[in-house]
Structure 1
Amino acid sequence: MSKPLRSPGTTGTFRPRFRPLPAILLTLLLCALAPSVRADESYNIKEIAPGVFVHQGRYEIFTPRNSGDTSNAGFIIGKDGVAVIDTGGSPKVGAELLAAIRERTDLPIKYVINTHMHPDHVFGNVAFEKEKPTFVGHHKLPRALANRADRYLAINKELLGEKAFDGERIIPPTLLVDDKLELDLGDRPLALEAQSTAHTDNDLTVLDKKTGTLFLGDILFSRHTPALDGSIRGWLALIDKLQKRTDTQRVVPGHGPPSMHLPEALAPEKRYLSLIAEQVRAKIKEGRTLAEAMRTVGLSEKDAWVLFKEYHQRNVSAAFAELEWEE
């Protein structure tokens, strides 16, 4: 039986109430798949730098077939232990990640770090509980997860099916990052930084200082249409800041190939978000409606991304709600 979500520092619990999705919505979500770019169905792992490993998720939405394996996850091995960065979209995917780690090391898993709140990055946490790691996240992550627990669990039970969903519960972090925090894996310092609102209001980046590898989570999407759940202005400002960094040899996106390079990795995403912001501002200035903006804004980007119809209109809506109040 799944335990209810308990937020750090509280005595209350969040008891999920499962409400089925309308059948038509569920059907649309399950049918609206982009083709997978993965060549096989096995759990792939690539060593992108010495001791730094990344699994590439599929460019798909959640379905029983993929078990929620739709985002990138990684781990870093030091002399004393392992840090995991994101765990996938289900207990099954998390267990596959754990098995991949154990094929490479018997060292203890000291930390499980979640880059933000979305289910495809945190639902695999449960597979790591028996390892007794410290779960780490942005200081706003516990509240974000608690506020969405009912919805996330209900929707994803329907999308994944009983088999992949079995045993699922949301595990919030117990070590919170207010600004910056350094963790050590044994001659392997990791620099964690809580970012201002961008993709979400709880984005966390992880830099392996030994190899200059920066895990960006969903601050960086490649090929997969970006998903705006925070602030379009904040996201664009953060992209500008990241493109000027000189301490990174490679970056790991939340969705995309295992490894990319700055500043060019962020260029397509910046183009896409900038176009939405520009065209939404124009619609607002002209007195146009949200409905019209959702029908017309950003359509020139359609062929540049997969899952465009699943995410794009929602991005326009979120941008419109934010920008109509800017001064």
Structure 2
Amino acid sequence: MNRPTRRSVLKTGAFFACCGMSHIRFAQSQSAHSAVLPVTEIAGGVFAFAGLPEMMNAENEGEICNVGFVVGTDAVAVIDSGGSVAEGRALIAAIRAVTDRPVRYLINTHMHPDHIFGNAAFSDAETVVVGHRNLPRALASRGDYYLQSYRDSMGGALMADIRIVPPTKLITDEEQLDLGGRHLALKAWKTAHTDNDLTVFDQQSGTFFTGDLCFVDHLPTMDGSLRGWIDQLGDLKAFKANLAVPGHGPVPSKWPEALDREERYFEVLARDIRKAIADGVPMAEAVKTAAQSERGSWRLFDEYNERNATAAFAELEWE
């Protein structure tokens, strides 16, 4: 991916602006923990960081998903905290390079570690953690497993400060957050990528933070319901957004075109799995061939497709 990592940023220590879009590329030389996350101003007062299309590990410090923040007249809202407390702190440093307004909200789009492992960096009492109504239960169920399972790949040093921080403000359907003359529309979705997906729409700029309901380049991953995801694609497309920040992929992305490849993948996966079920192919065999025609179109296909196919088979065989 042609984007400098924070490690290369640490070497350059550069700060510049161009084309009317602010690019923060400044970092202290002492350590990665004191770095400023390299964010881009994709719309007025809307900043985002594009994660790497990789698995979480010590080298990338868990910086694999897209995170961002929106600046209002009175306060700031952060959308996802990243895959480590180190990334969360670097995100705070990026905010402070732009504004001294308080971080009023930290919005978690769902439960996965690459989106919530940085939560502990936002321990200020003034910051309210916001999430889907199902997020507390999901974190209570999975949190200890996440902390244990990522210790090997991330390393003890990086994991030391990470803890599970559940939301205190829950979104049950749709709700607006006021940043002072700037409103964010939050929507809690039915089971799709997970059972706790939340999206954020900045009404002023028309920027749509989709969380992992939208993947671009990175193969979509399923931890919820294939049918539920497919059924809600129409509602996702209906958002009249000017641009989108997908959970993974280019920042920004065109909307609703960003959903096109994801929709095609789901159609192929569902078709192949349904045919295998109709033909009496055992799951163990079906998951190895399902959606293989899509292999050349996605990053991390080999890491996730068989897992997706297994979940799809278990769901679709009882239609």
Q: Counterparts of 1:261 and 1:107 in 2: how far apart (Å)?
A: 29
User: Equivalent residues in 2 for 1:243-254 (5 A)?
Assistant: 243-245=237-239, 247-254=240-247
User: Equivalent residues in 2 for 1:56-205 (5 A)?
Assistant: 56-130=50-124, 132-205=126-199
Q: For residues 198-253 of structure 1, what are the alpha-carbon distances to aligned partners after superposition, in whole Å with 9 as ceiling and x for unaligned?
A: 111000000101111110000011111110111111111211222233x2111110
SS at match of 1:207: strand
Would you say 1:53 and 2:18 are equivalent positions?
A: no
Q: 1:180 to 1:108 in 2, by over 3 A?
A: same
SS at match of 2:233: helix
Across the aligned residues of Structure 1 and Structure 2, the Cα RMSD in angstroms comes to 1.1
User: How far is 1:190 from its partner?
Assistant: 0.7
Q: Supply the AA of the counterpart residue of 1:243.
A: K
User: Equivalent residues in 2 for 1:3-22 (5 A)?
Assistant: none
Q: Counterparts of 1:296 and 1:168 in 2: how far apart (Å)?
A: 38
Unmatched tracts of structure 1, length 5 or more: 1-35
Q: Counterparts of 2:165 and 2:238 in 1: how far apart (Å)?
A: 34
Contact 1:108 1:131 in 2 (8 A): no
Aligned partner of 2:4 in structure 1 is 39
User: How far is 1:37 from its partner?
Assistant: 4.4
Q: Counterparts of 2:2 and 2:53 in 1: how far apart (Å)?
A: 7
Q: Counterparts of 1:202 and 1:67 in 2: how far apart (Å)?
A: 24
SS at match of 1:130: coil
Aligned partner of 1:316 in structure 2 is 309
Residue 206 of structure 2, aligned match among 194, 202, 212: 212
Aligned partner of 2:221 in structure 1 is 227
Q: For residues 289-327 of structure 1, what are the alpha-carbon distances to aligned partners after superposition, in whole Å with 9 as ceiling and x for unaligned?
A: 11111111111111111111111100000000110111x
Q: For residues 1-29 of structure 1, what are the alpha-carbon distances to aligned partners after superposition, in whole Å with 9 as ceiling and x for unaligned?
A: xxxxxxxxxxxxxxxxxxxxxxxxxxxxx
SS at match of 2:124: helix
Segments of 4+ moved more than 6 angstroms: none
User: How far is 1:187 from its partner?
Assistant: 0.3
Q: Supply the AA of the counterpart residue of 1:239.
A: L
Give aligned-pair identity as a percent.
49
Residue 298 of structure 2, aligned match among 305, 308, 322: 305
Q: Counterparts of 2:263 and 2:182 in 1: how far apart (Å)?
A: 32
Q: For residues 88-145 of structure 1, what are the alpha-carbon distances to aligned partners after superposition, in whole Å with 9 as ceiling and x for unaligned?
A: 0010011110110011110000000000000000000100113630000000000001
Q: Counterparts of 2:226 and 2:3 in 1: how far apart (Å)?
A: 30
Would you say 1:261 and 2:226 are equivalent positions?
A: no
| Range that drifts further, 197-206 or 130-139 | 130-139
Q: Supply the AA of the counterpart residue of 1:227.
A: T
Q: Counterparts of 2:73 and 2:152 in 1: how far apart (Å)?
A: 41
| Range that drifts further, 179-188 or 131-140 | 131-140
| TM-score normalised to structure 1 length | 0.87
| Range that drifts further, 108-117 or 284-293 | 284-293
Contact 1:37 1:58 in 2 (8 A): no
Q: Supply the AA of the counterpart residue of 1:129.
A: S
Aligned partner of 1:288 in structure 2 is 281
Q: 1:71 to 1:235 in 2, by over 3 A?
A: same
Would you say 1:242 and 2:207 are equivalent positions?
A: no
Where relative contact order (Cα < 8 A, 6+ residues apart) is larger, the structure is: 1
Q: Counterparts of 1:56 and 1:66 in 2: how far apart (Å)?
A: 13
Q: Supply the AA of the counterpart residue of 1:256.
A: G
Contact 1:37 1:59 in 2 (8 A): no
